[in-house]
Amino acid sequence: MPSEVRKAFKILRSDGLIPLVRKGVPFVHDNYISSHLPRAVVQYNGVAVKAGRLFDTSLPWREGHRPQFESGLISAISRHVSSGDDVVIVGGGWGVTAVAAAKQVGDSGSVTVFEGAKREVKRVKETVALNSVSDIVEVHHAIVGPEIHLKSAAGDPARVPPDQLPRCDVLELDCEGSEIDILKNLSSRPEYVFVETHGIYEAPTDEVRKVLEELDYEITHCEIGAEDYRTDCEEYDIYVLTGQRI
């Protein structure tokens, strides 16, 4: 007998039918139905992304809209990215910060994204197109610095040494542990650097802060990585440091 069926019978015997239904419906939906449903557009901190599935916003256990997604980086972008700026982002994710930056810099600026994972490259490009900023955002399938942790398979990315990153006004680093190596090997000094720290991936907040200060950056803000995941961010040391060049 499959383990799922044994668990269902155990819940039925101990708790009754209603608890079984409450637990069983989400399990069946998430494990056997959801992946076959059409993809759906949801809002991540005001940015449209195809991160959902049909009915996600109607089902209480499914994660639909996320108004606080990447709240630390989005806050830094809204404060410090201006019209005409050139922004470089290392670690594209869903492309949400790329879109937010593109809306700030406008047609006179640029946003260049480096993402090492093949799936995420596709996601960034899709999100950029969905939000009509493809003419501002350029996406590269490339790993910058050491490959410490990727969110999915790399595919066949290019390799970009940190000292070969384009000159920019603002640099955003959200690259799952490569942040410190990149900072130490930069050849230029952007006006602002936003770093999402990752204590479990060799880039703890205190060490990132120290490196930024050694590079003559003043830490103007330290914010939680994502307010909707505050508990996890606090547990795993995920914060966003904003450094302004002195």
Q: What is the pLDDT of residues 128-159, one digit of tens each?
A: 999 999 999 999 999 998 765 555 556 688 99
Q: Provide the token pair at 78.
A: 């809204």
**Residues sharing a CB contact under 8 Å with residue 188, sequence separation 6 or more, in sequence order:** 165, 167, 168
Burial pattern 94-122, b for ≥16 Cβ within 10 A else e, equals bbbbbbbbbbbbeeebbbbbbbbbbebbb
Provide mean pLDDT across the span 69-88: 98
**Range list of H helices, the chain:** 3-15, 17-28, 71-80, 96-105, 118-130, 179-184, 205-214, 230-236
pLDDT at 177: 77
Q: State phi, psi for 53 to the nearest 5 degrees.
A: -125, 155
On the question of pLDDT at 62 being above 80, the answer is: no
Whole-model pTM: value is: 0.84
Q: Give the number of other Cβ atoms within 10 Å of residue 135's Cβ.
A: 10
Q: Are 225 and 196 in contact (CB under 8 A)?
A: yes
- Domain map (residue ranges) of the chain: 3-58, 71-245
Local confidence band at 176 (pLDDT 50, 70, 90 cut-offs): confident
CA distance 6 to 168: 58
Return the CATH superfamily for domain 71-245: Vaccinia Virus protein VP39 (3.40.50.150)
CA distance 189 to 24: 54
pLDDT at 38: 67
Q: If you count them, how many residues does the chain have?
A: 246
Local confidence band at 212 (pLDDT 50, 70, 90 cut-offs): very high
Provide mean pLDDT across the span 217-237: 96
Which residue is associated with the tokens 């809306």?
103
Q: Are 140 and 157 in contact (CB under 8 A)?
A: no
pLDDT at 200: 87
On the question of pLDDT at 193 being above 50, the answer is: yes
pLDDT at 21: 47
**Residues sharing a CB contact under 8 Å with residue 178, sequence separation 6 or more, in sequence order:** 90, 144, 145, 146, 147, 148, 203
Which residue is associated with the tokens 């869903």?
94
